[in-house]
């Protein structure tokens, strides 16, 4: 067992961080350290490989690779989170939920997963009317409605590509924290709304459509 230096909680050797406080500083028995490290490294390599497969849209292979990662290290939270992503991006929201829950259970501080879990639960909900159209707060504020096509483009882009990568998840995490106040401000000042719309949102939509067009061509 490892012992957290910060809160003294004991936890499984294969865990990367303390399940109680999230600290990555721990004490461990040096006798089996190299075996533990090997397993963690191998699993992490497979997670990276799975990440690339997922981003390329190869969900079947990504699932296989992530399964192997979890077999080697059942405490790799990213493998569980990304397995959730594999199902999420295929629209299999109900199947995504247990993987995302497990990722959170392993590491309560894992970035992006709480948001993904909330969305998966909303989208898997039986009554589509209660499904929340979450979204791009800033774009929604600028265009006045979450149903505008530009907003849809951004939302689809976020769902398929941004949540895929760890960096993307970190970006979304920051974005969700920062953008509601910005969106509120934009909504309350018409001139600012026009400005943000012209300068920020429209070019972003154009870029996203361009990237989307390119990747769709490559894939199909
Ligand atoms: Zn701790």
Q: What count of other Cβ atoms lies within 10 Å of the Cβ of residue 161? A: 17
In angstroms, what CA-CA distances link 125 with 24, 81, 112, 160?
36, 20, 20, 20
Cα(211) to centroid(ligand 1), Å: 42
pLDDT tens, position by position, 62-113: 999 999 999 999 999 999 999 999 999 898 999 999 999 999 999 888 888 9
* The two structure tokens encoding residue 116: 């993904």
How far, in Å, is the centroid of ligand 1 from the Cα of 9?
5
Distance from the CA of 20 to the center of ligand 1, in angstroms?
5
Mean pLDDT by 10 residues, the chain (220 residues): 92 90 85 88 94 90 96 95 92 93 90 90 63 54 64 72 64 65 63 59 68 56
Q: How far is the CA of 11 from the centre of ligand 1 (A)?
A: 9
Task: Tell me the two tokens of residue 157.
Answer: 């882009």
Rounded to two decimals, the pTM is: 0.56
CB 123 within 8 A of CB 45: no
Separation of CA 113 and ligand 1 centre (Å): 20
pLDDT at 131: 39
Distance 3 CA to ligand 1 centre (A): 8
Distance 28 CA to ligand 1 centre (A): 13
Instruction: Report the separation in Å between the CA atom of 104 and the middle of ligand 1, taken as the mean of its atom positions.
Output: 16
Phi and psi angles of residue 24, each rounded to the nearest 5 degrees, phi first: -105, 10
- Please identify every residue whose CB atom is under 5 Å from ligand 1, which is an ion: 4, 6-7, 9, 18, 20-21, 23
């Amino acid at each position: 067992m490892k012992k957290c230096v910060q809160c003294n909680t004991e936890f499984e050797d294969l865990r990367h961080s303390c399940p109680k406080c999230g600290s990555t500083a721990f004490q461990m028995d040096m006798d089996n350290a190299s075996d533990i490290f090997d397993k963690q490294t191998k699993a992490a390599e497979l997670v990276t490989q799975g990440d690339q497969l997922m981003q390329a849209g190869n969900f079947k292979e990504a699932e296989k690779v992530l399964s192997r990662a979890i077999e080697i290290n059942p405490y790799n939270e990213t493998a569980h989170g990304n397995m959730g992503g594999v199902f999420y991006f295929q629209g299999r929201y109900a199947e995504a939920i247990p993987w995302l829950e497990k990722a959170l259970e392993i590491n309560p501080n894992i970035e992006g997963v709480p948001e993904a879990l909330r969305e998966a639960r909303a989208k898997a909900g039986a009554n589509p009317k209660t499904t929340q159209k979450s979204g791009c707060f800033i774009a929604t504020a600028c265009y006045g409605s979450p149903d505008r096509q530009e907003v849809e483009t951004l939302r689809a882009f976020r769902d398929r590509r941004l949540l895929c990568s760890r960096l993307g998840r970190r970006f979304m995490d920051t974005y969700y924290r920062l953008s509601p106040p910005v969106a509120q401000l934009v909504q309350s000042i018409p001139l600012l709304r026009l400005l943000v719309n012209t300068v920020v949102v429209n070019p972003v939509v154009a870029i996203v459509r361009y990237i989307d067009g390119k990747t769709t061509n490559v894939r199909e």
